[in-house]
A and B are shown apart, each in its own frame.
Chain A
Amino acid sequence: MKFNFFYIIVIVFFNYSFGQQSEDLEKIDSLKQLVANIKLQDSSSIAETHYAIAEYYRKTTPLTDSAFYYYHKAEKIFKQLKAKYQLALTLYGVAVIQKNEKDFIGSEVTSIEALSLLESLNGTDDVLIRKAFIYNNLGIVFKELEQYDESIKYHEKALKLKEKLKGDNKESIDISKNNLANTYKNAEQFDLAIDYYIQILENKELINQNPGFYALVLDNYAHTLYLSKRHSQLPELYLKALKISDSIKYKGYNSIIINQHLAEYYNDKGNKELARYYAYIAKDISEKYHNDDLLKSLLLLSKIEEGEVAAKHLKSYISLNDSLQKNERSIRNKFARIRFETNQIERENIQIAKERLWLLVISVIIIIASFLLYLVIRQRNKNKELQFIQEQQAANEEIYNLMLSQNEKIEEARALEKKRISEELHDGVLGRLFGTRLSLDSLNMSTSDEAIRTRNQYINELKTIEEDIRKVSHELNTDFVSGSGFIDIIETLVETQATVYNLVYHLEHDGIINWDEVSNKNKIHIYRIIQESLHNIYKHAGATKVDISFKLKNNVIWLTLIDDGVGFDVNKTKSGIGLKNMNSRIKEINGIMDITSRKSIGTTVTMQVPIT
């Protein structure tokens, strides 16, 4: 839809600006601008616009190479889109250009190609008129190639098609007839040619409707009469044609050939004066166009003039002929180059598209790969973290179990002690008390002196029992196992570690720390910190001696580890995982850690851990 609208504008615009070259070029520029603005996807619109530009160049300017360039562009796209009708029109345009540039063989091939495309379509009026145009073009091509039979055949085909079509196409039919007559004229079948010319000229309206064409046909008719040596109506017919032609445009393009014919006629009649007059007019007009007509004019002059002047004209003729031939060749080369260049650009475009696709694919792959990599790394880190936490937990559990078993031992010892005291009370004290009571009870009844004395004895016995009870009570009061459990665990740890690391150790602890009050969490962390420190001392300090002490100051446990290792720069050393762990542990139990170290003297780690 978009295209159609656009196309209409273009057509309107063509009609309006016919013959106004500078404006035309501006319009072409605006068309090109439009192409640039069309979205890339809308390739059919682009192709249609290219076609329109090409048509414009062909019909209104002599810039055939530009026309060819745009035709070629349009052709490529139409081929891709498989738009047969449009492709056929484009090829027809190319064929016409090729014909005009005398590439007759090329034009023939292109025409046949366009024709075969149209053959495969339904025979609508549009298709048929295009076919007729192509037949006409082929007719002209074969005429130029001097294959008159072929030319006549195609012209007749064109004529037949045109006659079959409905509507007013008399003008078109006349053109075909004129072309057919021209072929007959060239083939020297003058009678047939004259027949067709007369058919055209019989139309009395033609002189008013299309006087230019009428003049052309009249001239052709007169020239045919001249060639067939029927001079009775000459030169009046020539002069009439010239008069009509000049009436349209004085010394216009069409009058060249009439003037040439007149010069030729007068030269034949021996009237050198008039022959020279018309020949120079022809030459003057044709010099503006610098084409075959000038060539013909020069050849004619060389025949009319004599001596040096004739030689001069002949020389001009030869040099012009050469330059024209060179021109033709260069134009043809240009066409070939346009074909080649567009092909190359297309190939490059394909290459670029391919590269872009690859780039896209590769970047997508890279993005996906890096995303996966990121996931894998993240997962791995997570796993590591989890594993670390698990290990940590397992280690903590181990210590906890250690403490539990230690507690159990203590409990067992306590139970044993309890049992011992109970037995002592039961067997020793209770028995004696019972015996004494029983004796006193029995002595109660008697009041004899002896009984009084014996009672006294038993009362003394009660005193010793009292003493015994006091003793047991005292034993009960001193909890011999209380609190020693955790220190035992620490001692075991330090002893085994020191043995493994080959260290001499000294462990000192304040008896007044009540380890039962310290939470298990804190105990576990203290245990781990000592373990970690000993490991560091072994691994990094290379110490031989370590002093560990627990002291209670202001209800805070002061844990100090002093080694005689190599020491390190506390500020510079990047925290290793061991040190980090120690820090995080101390933070967890709301403690404070302080490390002082001096090179080759040793390191002191002091920690303050609140009891609760």
Chain B
Amino acid sequence: MNQKIKILMIDDHPMIIEGYQNTLLFTKKETQQLEIDIANNCDEAIAFMDKSVEKENPYHVLFVDISLPPSADGLMTSGEDLAAYARKVLPNSKIIILTMFNESFRIHNIIKTIDPEGFLIKSDLTSSELASAFQAVLNNPPFYSGTVNSFIRKAITSDIVIDEKNRKILHLLSQGVKTKNLASHLDLSLSAVEKRKKQLREIFEVQDGQDETLINAAKNKGFV
């Protein structure tokens, strides 16, 4: 019996989509019949999603890239937003997140908000891994790539608990954002940012006031 699988691939690089397609087509089971839609940006992705809902022919699997140019109306700024939207309109679809980001902040956040069936990091992805991930997600989700798994383990075994805002601060600092600009990014006052930084320094047992030392400590503990 032929299994028809409807797929939506969202990535702004045609080469990557091509890569996914090639991989899936070469590795699919004989019984599986793939029907792939391609979206290169947020607007296209939403249009495909809405159309499938309308036709009551929902996607089985969604491949979502995190870094995408924002939508025309500015509501969707990344694959993360798209995934959240998909969860809402296509509750039965399996979502595979594919990202270049291997920073822990993103991983943590994405798992928390989307809880995707698949989570793959592009930099350590091979075609066989992608193939097994695809099969696993279809039959026995979830499938997380090795990096993601090791991150989750680290976060769980660590005694350190930090809230969302602090994670964001660490993330932004690691991006090289200056402390004085953090306030506007986070919608906090400068003194509040300083307070949180001080708190973070205490948590990570950092003695000096350098951002670099703090970031390094956080990286070692898997928070960045």
Contact = CB atoms under 8 A, between A and B. Distances in A.
Given A442-B26, A442-B27, A436 B176 contact: no
B23 A439 contact: yes
B18 interface: yes
Contacts of B20: 438
B15 interface: yes
B13 interface: yes
A435 B100 contact: no
B215 interface: no
A446 B13 CA distance: 24
Interface stretch (A99-107, A195-203, A423-431): A423-431
Given A427-B67, A438-B127, A438-B130, A445 B26 contact: yes
B125 interface: yes
Nearest to B176: A415
Interface in A414-456: 415, 426-427, 430-432, 434-439, 441-446, 454
A442 B23 contact: yes
B22 A443 contact: yes
A277 B130 CA distance: 187
B106 interface: no
Contacts of A430: 100
A461 interface: yes
B130 to A, nearest CB: 7
Contact of B22 (A426, A427, A442, A461): A442
B126 interface: yes
A415 B11 CA distance: 27
Contact of A435 (B19, B25, B67): B19
A447 B14 CA distance: 24
* Interface secondary structure of A, over-half rule: helix
Interface in A533-562: none
Interface in B86-124: 100, 122-123
B118 to A, nearest CB: 15
A432 B13 contact: yes
Interface residues of A, number: 20
Interface string A395-417: 00000000000000000000100
B127 A434 contact: no
A438 B100 contact: no
A444 B26 CA distance: 10
Given A426-B100, A430-B100, A435 B16 contact: yes
A25 B18 CA distance: 151
Nearest to B16: A435
A441 B17 contact: no
Pick from B19, B23, B128 the residue with the most CB of A within 10 Å: B19
A438 B22 contact: yes
A431 B130 contact: no
A441 B127 CA distance: 6
B130 A443 contact: no
Interface in A577-592: none
Nearest to B14: A435
Interface in B10-57: 11-20, 22-23, 25-27
Interface string A336-373: 00000000000000000000000000000000000000
A443 B26 contact: yes
Contacts of A432: 13, 15-16
Interface in A272-320: none
Nearest to A418: B176
B15 A442 contact: no
Nearest to B13: A431
Nearest to A419: B176
A430 B17 CA distance: 14
B36 to A, nearest CB: 14
Contacts of B11: 431
Contact of A439 (B22, B27, B176): B22
A454 B22 CA distance: 10
A50 to B, nearest CB: 97
B80 to A, nearest CB: 17
Contact of B19 (A415, A426, A427, A434): A434
Given A426-B100, A430-B100, A442-B127, A435 B26 contact: no
A427 B101 CA distance: 11
B67 A442 contact: no
Nearest to A436: B15
B15 A461 contact: yes
A268 B104 CA distance: 171
Nearest to B130: A438
A216 B127 CA distance: 175
Contacts of A437: 19
A441 B100 contact: no
A438 B125 contact: yes
A15 B23 CA distance: 159
Nearest to A446: B26
Given A427-B67, A434-B122, A442 B19 contact: yes
A454 B127 CA distance: 16
Contacts of B16: 431-432, 434-435, 438
A450 to B, nearest CB: 12
6 contacts: A435-B14, A439-B22, A439-B23, A441-B126, A442-B22, A442-B27
Interface of A: 415, 426-427, 430-432, 434-439, 441-446, 454, 461
